[in-house]
Amino acid sequence: MPDAYPPGFGPFLAAIIADPADDTARLVAADWLDENGDPDRAEFVRAQIALYRLHPDYATDEAVRAAFDPAAAALYRRERDLLGRYAKQWLAGLPPWPWGGHSVTFCRGFPARVHMAAGRWAADGPKVRASAPIECVSLDGGADGIAELVTDPSLFGLTELSLDCVGTGELRALAASPALDTLRSLRLTGRKTSGTVEVPALRACLGSPRLANVTSLRVWFDRAGDTLGFVVGGSPHLRKLRELSLGDAMRSDAARDLFDSPNLAGATALFLEDNPVGDIGVRALVRSKYLTGIEFLHLHSTGLTAESGRLLAGWPGLRNVRFLNLAGNRLGTAGIRALAESPYLGRLDALLFADGEPTREEREDLRRLPGFAHIRVLGLG
């Protein structure tokens, strides 16, 4: 029994590990902790569950937190305070990795996300899975690689898998791995020094029927954006997507095909930063019959001009958007003013524009525009 818990907590931890998705077991455990001398841990469990229900990525996504109401923001500060005070104690019983507590993230009250080198996971993975309700594993392939690990049972049954330094061999191995079967989130990042991956390997992996339960997909490969757009948009097995992040180098043609895909019918978050989709891509976005429920829209550094400001201003789908990132573009004062006059800004909590544009005097004028009055976070450079 790890020293992280009071004596007698073993059956509660076993129940949570057996079914990590069950919040009821966690809340029952919090009640027991309250009654057995650990009220701070009980408060922490309840706080993290409440924040997770607001948005699963609240701990890592600043955009999500920017849209928090004051009560949720206060709860997040309390959660951070408790974690700062007790993280070392609560991690007792897990292997002493070189990065210490920074390799572990708590979720819904318990260690849940682990980030480490693939070689370290090969040695410690089974022990980690037996000691905590780990749902998410992030591996850096580095010199060790991950092609062999993706078929290891220590990675089966997860809800989220993130793999860095992925190449063609790893994609091919992953395509047939049972590790994909239970995933709701998959994040893949390519190797920065090995050039582009082979298109057939990308198609095999992202077109795998084992991805049928994935709701969050983040894939970044150098100079593969167009391929990613076509593959993700054309896969018959990605119909449950709610969050999508692709990069980089996806241009307007691939973006148009992606936006016309029914795979995005349920999407609420779209991250396309550093893809040169341009105004043509935004025109395809606002014309899409599928992108009607987007709440988080990231178009940072995508080659937009004032025309995109006008297109977005007239887009009925903007009425659902809570966070809009347009930084790194050149909308200019005309594009910003067009957005301020949109009738669809009612739910918008955070709006970011390019650094250094417009001028200081223009920024002051723009902040006073009635259309922006309700926006809590307004970044005008």
* Structure confidence by residue, pLDDT tens digits, 277-329: 999 999 999 999 999 999 999 999 999 999 999 999 999 999 999 999 999 99
pLDDT grade for 121, boundaries at 50, 70 and 90: confident
Q: Is the pLDDT of residue 25 over 60?
A: yes
Q: For the chain, first and last CA: distance in Å? A: 52
Q: What is the spatial distance between Cα 331 and Cα 176, in angstroms, rounded to a whole number?
A: 44
Other Cβ atoms less than 10 A from the Cβ of 373: the count is 11
Q: What is the mean pLDDT of the chain?
A: 89
- pLDDT > 70: percent of the chain: 93
Residue 258 predicted with pLDDT over 80: yes
Confidence of residue 1 (pLDDT cuts 50, 70, 90): very low
Q: Which of the 8 DSSP states describes residue 305? A: B
pLDDT at 118: 85
Report how far residue 100's alpha carbon sits from residue 327's, in angstroms, rounded to the nearest whole number.
35
Q: What is the pLDDT of residue 56?
A: 82
Count how many Cα atoms sit within 13 Å of the Cα of residue 209 in the half-sphere of its side chain.
0
pLDDT at residue 100, rounded to an integer: 46
* pLDDT tens by residue, 328-377: 999 988 999 999 999 999 999 999 986 555 677 777 788 888 889 889 88
d(CA 360, CA 139): 44
Whether the predicted pLDDT of 138 surpasses 80: yes
The pLDDT of 193-208, averaged and rounded, is: 82
**What pLDDT is attached to residue 222?**
78
The single-letter DSSP state of residue 5 is S
Among 303, 300, 312, 277, CA closest to 352: 300
DSSP state of 184: S
Write b or e for each residue in 151-183: b if 16 or more Cβ atoms lie within 10 A of its Cβ, otherwise e. Answer: eeebbeebbbbbbbbbbbebbbbbbebebbebb
Residues 150-156: what's their mean pLDDT? 91
Q: Which residues contact 318 (CB under 8 A, 6 or more apart)?
A: 312, 324, 342, 344, 345, 348
| pLDDT for 223 beyond 80 | no
pLDDT, one tens digit per residue, over 26-68 is: 999 999 999 999 999 999 999 999 999 998 878 877 778 877 8
